[in-house]
A and B are shown apart, each in its own frame.
Chain A
Amino acid sequence: MAIVILLILPFFISDYIVSVLLNILMWIALTESWMILSGYTGYISLGHAAFFGVGAYIMALLWRKLPFFAIVPLGGLSSMFLAFAIGFPCLRIRGPYFVILTLGLSEFTKYLFINWEVNVSGTVGRILMGAPDLHIFYYSMLVIAGLGVAVASWIRSSRFGVGLRSIKEDEEAAESLGINTSVYKWLAFGISAFFPGLVGSVMALRWTYIDPYTVFNPIVSFQIIVIAFLGGVTEVEGPLLGAIVLTLISEVLWAKYPYYYMIILGVILIILVYFIPTGILEPLKGLIKSRVALKWRSS
């Protein structure tokens, strides 16, 4: 039902609303993919901006040489390969050190690209001409977000997901029950990097101009975490809810209070995280449950 609505909706609403929806879908895709690594295994990544940026640059390099629908998967695969390449040494490091390392690697990648742009290609950024229709972006992102939700939810209940979640609970105990924790974390890292690559390559074309500062912006990584913790990090519905709530709040605030919007947003987030540290999904579920129970009892 929801899928049908999302499919036909763009024909009935303004382009502004479509682009808001596009934004929501983008954050859903990014956060669901982040959850496959960080939500399930507990290895918090602050490096997803790097995968986003790599995807964006793949688009910038290949646009007009290959069709749009061929470049996007290549963007995803490139990010995945990058994750596989750096994954093994990174994932030996645990806890807060892993968080800092991912942030550092992401910044490192950004500066590699800055250097390359300045010294090799002799420019600071790239203009992408001839962007397709907004609806193409919308449907591409809908597919990516849908895929993200599907993969995250399939993994959660699979054998693989049970393994990942036990790593989050207690890595040594998981290992002593026969899980090859290194390989499992590595796979999760790669799968998790695939989606930001897809999203990045779509968004590069949507933005029409990119440079390393915008596509490797660490704010992307931070916002993923904000959404994840806002919604809840252990279930697939969490990022959905978080992305919708955060994007809508920021749109409304931005329209109404353009000067204070960041401040108000910050305060709202602090309040939410302070009072509902588990994310809003859990209390919401409880509320729905008690409503249903009440109805059932009174009937």
Chain B
Amino acid sequence: MAFLVGKNISKKFGGLTALHHIEFQIDSGEIVGLIGPNGAGKTTLFNVISGMYSPTSGEIYFEGNEITGLKPHLICRKGLTRTFQIVRPFFNMTVLENVMVGSFFGGAQIRSKAKAEEEALHILKFVGLQERIHLPAKGLTSADRKRLELAKSLATKPKMLLLDEVLAGLTPTEMSQAMALIEAIRRELGITILIVEHVMKAIIGLSDRIIVLHYGEKIAEGKAEEVAKNPTVIEAYLGEEIQV
């Protein structure tokens, strides 16, 4: 049984079709990359899956249950959590409090403050932010903000994560650390991942499988090496051959 299934998903904004009959299927334990040129509909697809938009047509199933059109907080509590392309820390709250929001309200629904704090500390250690827990989030570097974004979403105890460009803007060293972290999330926590990324080298290294969107349509899907050689994909990326 596939873990996350999208059936015939379309999303229109007025006359603009942002997503056109998208079909996808993601199995438990996979890391799937979602790529495409700017405006291809990647973030729209994330917004539709996570409940921020409801699709114009089509259905989404998570663990066999339909989640189409559910409110974002309910989808999160079912174990499907997203991060944002532009990281959105709660700037005036401490790093610890930021992560506690996830443990309090996500799938875990922890009531006790002590328990939530313990969970949050555990996760902060996992992402490597344990030194900064009492800093307000606005005091973090941009690389640390990305870690925090991951920590917040991990604190909701997800079964699956939707990661929206978590690697963008990182230096090469930071990027390889972040990639190791994402791999650890799957390996150690058993979380399935759908990841949007522009950095081609990273996404090919990370993903078991890649889905390519272009102008709201799925134009290719398959193993990284196959997709990189697919002529339609190459054409979509302005005719350049993708450097692997």
A170 to B155, CA, bound (A): 17
Distance of A100 from chain B, by nearest CB (Å): 25
Whether B91 is near chain A, meaning CB under 8 Å from some CB there, is: yes
Do A159 and B116 touch across chains, with their CB atoms under 8 A apart?
Answer: yes
Distance of B92 from chain A, by nearest CB (Å): 6
Do B81 and A163 touch across chains, with their CB atoms under 8 A apart?
Answer: no
Distance of A164 from chain B, by nearest CB (Å): 11
Residue of A157, A158, A179, A180 with most chain B CB atoms under a 10 A cut-off: A179
Distance of B39 from chain A, by nearest CB (Å): 21
B90 partner, pick from A165, A180, A181, beta carbons under 8 A: A165
Whether B62 is near chain A, meaning CB under 8 Å from some CB there, is: no
A176 to B155, CA, bound (A): 12
Do B50 and A176 touch across chains, with their CB atoms under 8 A apart?
Answer: yes
Distance of B54 from chain A, by nearest CB (Å): 14
A145 to B211, CA, bound (A): 59
Known: A165-B90, A173-B84, A176-B50. A159 touches B104 (CB 8 A): yes
Whether B123 is near chain A, meaning CB under 8 Å from some CB there, is: no
Do B73 and A181 touch across chains, with their CB atoms under 8 A apart?
Answer: yes
Do A176 and B93 touch across chains, with their CB atoms under 8 A apart?
Answer: no
Do A176 and B72 touch across chains, with their CB atoms under 8 A apart?
Answer: yes
B76 partner, pick from A158, A159, A163, A177, beta carbons under 8 A: A177
A134 to B153, CA, bound (A): 55
Whether B88 is near chain A, meaning CB under 8 Å from some CB there, is: yes
At the interface with chain A, which of B106-114, B173-181, B192-200? B106-114
Do B156 and A159 touch across chains, with their CB atoms under 8 A apart?
Answer: no
Q: Which residues of A contact B98 (CB under 8 A)?
A: 166
Whether B77 is near chain A, meaning CB under 8 Å from some CB there, is: yes
A159 partner, pick from B77, B88, B111, beta carbons under 8 A: B111
Whether A178 is near chain B, meaning CB under 8 Å from some CB there, is: yes
Do B73 and A178 touch across chains, with their CB atoms under 8 A apart?
Answer: yes
Known: A169-B91, A169-B92. A178 touches B97 (CB 8 A): no
Interface size bucket, A side? 20 to 34
Q: Which residues of B contact A234 (CB under 8 A)?
A: 92
Number of CB contacts from chain A to chain B under 8 A: 78
Whether B203 is near chain A, meaning CB under 8 Å from some CB there, is: no
Interface size bucket, B side? 20 to 34
B-contact bits for A154-187, CB 8 A (1 contact / 0 none): 0001110011011001101111111111000000
A177 partner, pick from B71, B93, B156, beta carbons under 8 A: B156
A182 to B113, CA, bound (A): 22
Residue of A158, A178, A234 with most chain B CB atoms under a 10 A cut-off: A178
Q: Which residues of A contact B101 (CB under 8 A)?
A: 162-163, 166, 174, 177, 179
Whether B152 is near chain A, meaning CB under 8 Å from some CB there, is: yes
Do A166 and B113 touch across chains, with their CB atoms under 8 A apart?
Answer: no
A178 to B52, CA, bound (A): 12
Distance of A256 from chain B, by nearest CB (Å): 39
A209 to B112, CA, bound (A): 48
Known: A158-B113, A163-B105. A175 touches B91 (CB 8 A): no
A3 to B107, CA, bound (A): 42
Those of B95-140 within 8 Å (CB) of chain A: 97-98, 100-102, 104-107, 109, 111, 113, 116
**A159: nearest chain-B partner, CB-CB:** B104
Q: Which residues of A contact B91 (CB under 8 A)?
A: 169
Do B113 and A178 touch across chains, with their CB atoms under 8 A apart?
Answer: no
Known pairs A165-B97, A176-B81, A177-B76. 13 more at Cβ < 8 A?
A158-B113, A163-B101, A163-B104, A166-B98, A166-B101, A169-B92, A173-B84, A175-B72, A175-B73, A176-B82, A177-B152, A179-B73, A179-B105
21 contacts between A and B (CB under 8 A): A158-B113, A163-B104, A165-B92, A165-B93, A166-B101, A169-B93, A170-B90, A172-B52, A172-B88, A173-B88, A175-B71, A175-B73, A176-B73, A176-B76, A177-B73, A177-B76, A177-B81, A177-B152, A177-B156, A178-B76, A180-B71
List of 9 A-B pairs having minimum Cβ-Cβ separation, nearest first: A169-B90, A178-B105, A178-B76, A173-B88, A178-B106, A175-B72, A179-B105, A166-B101, A170-B88
